[in-house]
Each structure stands twice: as structure tokens, then as C-alpha cells.
Amino acid sequence: MSTPNPKPHQLQVWRVNVRTRNLNLEPVPPSWEHRGGRGLVARFLLDEVPATCEPLGPYNKLIFAPGLLVGHMLSSCDRISIGGKSPLTGGAKEANAGGTTGLQMTLLGIKALVLEDVPAEPGWWVLHMSVAGARFDHADEFTGLGVYETAQKLVEKYGDKVAIALIGPGGEMKLKTAGIQNLDKEKVPSRIAARGGLGAVMATKGIKAIVFDTRGGQKPPILNPEAYKEAQKIFNKAVIDHPQSHTYRDYGTAAMVQMCQYFGSLPTRNYSSGQFEQADSISGENLRELLLKRGGVSNPTHACMPGCTIRCSNIFGGEDGKMIVSPLEFETIGLMGSNLGIGCLDDIARMNWQVNDLGVDSIDIGAALGVAAEAGLMKWGDGERALELIDEIRKGTPLGRILGSGAGYTGKILGVEHVPVTKNQAMAAYEGRAIKGTGVTYATSPQGGDHTAGLTIREKINHLDTKGQVELSRIKQINAAGYDTLGACLFAGFGFAASGPETIRDLLNARYGWSVDNNILQTLGRETLKLEREFNRRAGFTAKDDRMPEWMRHEPLPPTNAVFDVPDEELDSLFNW
């Protein structure tokens, strides 16, 4: 199958039917033109995916959509959004990732890649995309292999100039926690669009990997290069100068361990406490010290994509100087560390490598292991047992498939009430009882439990007070949906906030020749949330789905003894704007 792209400088929709193996290049529909990333995913879902369809069936589609700012190595703004109907939540799903996929897609002139239908016969394929079009290569040699080995072999086969999005054995098993991994700038498949089971959707299309070969491609046009350069300069300076950028460069997202410990919001032993007695040993400070001491490949500062000046990522090496995993992030430390009573970064890093290699979400698997521990399947703090349980997933045993289906299903099957999920998706490592604004986000976000949908912990407020949390979550959710639509890493938001709303306006107007105003971030965010909510409504979601788990309303969280007590009527008012 091959349809050459005659206009690689013009963004188009590439539509691949995996049954017929036809590629169609289509002009961008008018209603998609002003959207990218998460906003385009939301529009696409309403336009093309029946909301009540089976997520793993032929009517669900998978979309890859770079954000609106992707394509020019603007610092931290080349993220790829991947979306479809979620097998985990049953609702709208967008999961985004750094790395190189978004950037490379725009060099091929791809505004959106849509995979549709299911293959006529069983088998696995590598979808190869280039200026010559698309073709299906047999993937038999990669089937069953872990993500790391597959990525290495793909790079050997297709060359080191390609971007790759791929699934692991978890995806092949169609587990509901399976994500889609993307290469970072060192060709390590570490950037996972993790949430909501989109790797399982990719598996239903028979696609083990998508290779984007950009030879002969070119950067998307900028209509007013001078104005763009000026806005870029202002943004770059704001990002580089921002104190938070320095914190993340030095300590990575692991800097949040001590902040959460301070607020009593660090999930500990299946969310039964908000403080962990070994927080110091899993902190960002200890992580940095350890990596600097170990040397070798270890590095507390690393950029996941070309051009990122924040560089919050890291390379976690062992005592032998060899890499254990890259990066080791706060969410994994929280869910696979304190949440399991594990205080050893090496143990957490090894577990992280295993789930990455399986291609499953470390947040939902960490939460599932916490539930399993409460059910008596492992002792708190037992890293070896946690690795054994992860190995059950690799072997595809019944227990492994249960754990690989995420915390929600694991809790139901094991008879555990304390399951930290909303819309069946595990919450991240910020306890929503102690950080109530983030609890509001977990409850009401169309995406389900997801800190990136509207994190409130950095606000200088009393996080235990119910007052004002809905308003705060609303602001954060709108901004987050806006940044996800731009393809901007949430940490780029520090630079955008510091440089003023005119920076985003000027970048978009200069690049596309639009005349958007200073409110464009909020306009994009509101539209995106509205579309996602409408998709969920059509899928059968009601107000009762916008709730925290019942036990979090009556069980106090030590040491603050907070419960989640934001009234339902307030939650229901969040989207009244």
C-alpha cells in the first residue's frame, strides 16, 4: 500500500484502514483546522467514533494528533496526543507523550493519523509511514518481544532517523492498562502515552509499531517567521528564567515527593495514609544525590525531546553504572513506592523498567498492586514480591491479566473496597482527600483519575478547605486541556504563564495566520472539555460518574484526617461556565 504525499509541507489527515490496508490523504476538515492534540482528539471522537461502541471492536478508531505548536522545537512543545474510546474508562481518552513522534509526524505533513477498522485476518504489522506513503511490513519477528528489545530492533531495521510509536506484550494481550510508547531523543522507548488502555486499541488494529521515516520531509510552514521568532524568544526566556524550571531540572518530578509528604498527600500503603515514613529515601533530593554519586550513565537532568530547556527527565543508573530505567518519575515513585510501602529507589526503578517493557501504565499497575497487597497477595514493602506479581502480567496468567486490567477491575475481582479510581482509572500520586482541588479534578475530569487534567497542589491555599476547590479545579482543567491541545508539556505552562497570554496568541497567529485573542488557551481548553463531556454523555456517563469513591468520603486520611467532602452539587456545577 503506498500513496505518496505530494505536499509534505501541507498538513493533511492520513487515514489508514487496517482491513483494506488503504491509505487516504485528506484535506483537513474545516472543523479540525483550529484544533490539535487533545482538542482534535475530542472533535474526532464526536465526529467519527460511535460513543456506545465497543472500545476493542471495529468501530473504535485510534488517532495520533500532534498539538498546534508542534513542529518547530519550541521548548517542551512537541508532544503527541493519542486518542480513542478508552477500554478502561469507557469514555473519551487522550493520552499524550513527549519524545519525538509528534515532531516527526509534522515533518511528514501529518495533521492527524487515523487508524480505523480491524484487520481481516490475524497477524501483527509494522506500519511504515514516509513521504512515499504507507506500507504494512510483517511484524512477526517482533511479536511477543518487550518494548525495549522491539524498539532496538526497529531502529536497527529502519535506521536511527525514525520516530516510532509501539506497544509491548501488555498491548498485545489487550490489557486495559496498555499504553503506547514513543522514542525519546536518544531512541529509548521511554515516553509512554500511558493512560486509559490505548495500547490495547492499537493492538486491535494489528499494529505492533508505527515507524515515521521523515527523510525528504520538511518543517510545517510559518506564515510570519519574524513575528514567530520574536514570540519564541520571549517564551524561551520566560521558561529558562522560571524558578520552577530550575527545580524540575535539578530534581525532576520527584521533587513532588517531599511536597506531598508535607501536605499529607503522598499515597501510602494503598491510600491508607498520606505520609510515608521512608519519604526521604524516595525523595527527589535523594534521587539526585544518588545519581550524581553513581555516575556512569546516571544523570538527574535529561530532555525527553529535542529543544526542551527544562529537562525534567532523568537517567536512573545502578551502582554498576548501567541504566536501570529512564526516566524515574514522581508518579511511579508514589504508586510503586510509598503506595506499596517500598522505600528503595532501586526496587522502584526495576519495577518501572518491567512495566515499561510490558508497555503498561505504571500508575494503574502501581495502584492495582496496592489493592492486591491489601487483599494479601504481597506484603507491604516487599519489592521482590511486587516484581513477581508484575511477572504474572508478562506470563499472561489469569492473575497477571487481572492486575494488567488496572486497579478498578483488580479491586472488584479481589473484593477490595479501597480502590483509588475515578471512572475506573487510577488516581495519580496526589491524594485527593488532602489536596481537595485535585480530588475535584479526579472526580469530574472527563478523562478519569488523572493529575495532568488539572493539578492544584502548587496553589498557595489551604488544600484541606472545601471552599473554592471547584473554581480552582475548573481553572486548572481548562488550562490543562488548552496546553494539551497546543502539544505543550504542562511545565511549559510556567513559561507561558510568566510571559503573558499574548505569547500563545502571537505564536499561533504568526504560525497559522490566524487572529486569535489573548484568551485562546482558555477557549481551546473549554471547547475541548465540552466535546469530551458530550462524548461521555453519549456513552452513558451521568453525574454519578463525577464522584470520588465512596470510602474517601467517610474514611479519614492520616495524618490530616481529611475526607473528601466537596458537596456533590458543587461538583455538578464545575462545567457551568
Binding positions for ligand SF4, rule: CB under 6 A: 76, 98, 303-305, 308, 310-313, 489, 491
Q: For 327, which DSSP code?
A: -
Does residue 351 contact residue 358 with C-beta atoms inside 8 Å? no
Q: Which is nearer to ligand SF4, 44 or 483 (CB)?
A: 483
Distance of CA 170 to the CA centre of its chain: 16
Least distance CB 193 / ligand SF4 (angstroms)? 13
Q: Which of 258, 457, 428 is nearest to 339 (CA)?
A: 428
Distances (CA, A) of 127 to 18, 124, 133, 213: 10, 10, 10, 11
Does residue 94 contact residue 82 with C-beta atoms inside 8 Å? yes
Per the structure block, which three cell numbers stand in for 101?
513522534
Least distance CB 241 / ligand SF4 (angstroms)? 15
Least distance CB 131 / ligand SF4 (angstroms)? 27
Q: Which is nearer to ligand SF4, 103 or 389 (CB)?
A: 103
Least distance CB 389 / ligand SF4 (angstroms)? 28
Least distance CB 301 / ligand SF4 (angstroms)? 9
Least distance CB 244 / ligand SF4 (angstroms)? 10
- With cell 493529575, the residue in question is 451
Q: Which is nearer to ligand SF4, 236 or 573 (CB)?
A: 236
Least distance CB 522 / ligand SF4 (angstroms)? 21
Give CA–CA dist 193/181, Å, rounded.
6
Q: Which is nearer to ligand SF4, 186 or 382 (CB)?
A: 186
- With cell 493492538, the residue in question is 203
Q: Which is nearer to ligand SF4, 98 or 420 (CB)?
A: 98
Longest dimension (CA), the chain: 63
Q: Which is nearer to ligand SF4, 311 or 533 (CB)?
A: 311
Least distance CB 250 / ligand SF4 (angstroms)? 13
> CB within 8 A of 116, min separation 6: which ones?
15, 16, 17, 18, 61
Least distance CB 489 / ligand SF4 (angstroms)? 3
- With cell 488523572, the residue in question is 450
Sign of CA dihedral 255, 94, 147, 414: positive
Does residue 338 contact residue 273 with C-beta atoms inside 8 Å? no
Which residue(s) pair with 134 in the sheet?
129
Give CA–CA dist 484/358, Å, rounded.
26
Q: For 79, which DSSP code?
A: -
Q: Which is nearer to ligand SF4, 129 or 480 (CB)?
A: 480
Residue whose C-beta lies closest to ligand SF4:
489
Give CA–CA dist 145/152, Å, rounded.
11
Least distance CB 165 / ligand SF4 (angstroms)? 16
Q: Which is nearer to ligand SF4, 139 or 304 (CB)?
A: 304
Q: Which is nearer to ligand SF4, 184 or 546 (CB)?
A: 184
Q: Which is nearer to ligand SF4, 260 or 303 (CB)?
A: 303
Least distance CB 184 / ligand SF4 (angstroms)? 8
H/E/C letters for each residue in 511-551? HHCCCCCCCHHHHHHHHHHHHHHHHHHHHCCCHHHCCCCCH
Q: Which is nearer to ligand SF4, 247 or 410 (CB)?
A: 247
Instruction: Please report, to the nearest 10 degrees, the dihedral formed by the alpha carbons of residues 363, 364, 367, 369 taken in order.
Output: -110
Give CA–CA dist 245/294, Å, rounded.
24
Q: Which is nearer to ligand SF4, 125 or 483 (CB)?
A: 483
323-359 burial: b if 16+ Cβ within 10 Å, else e: bbbbbbbbbbbbbbbbbbbbbebebbbbbbbbbbbbb
Least distance CB 248 / ligand SF4 (angstroms)? 6
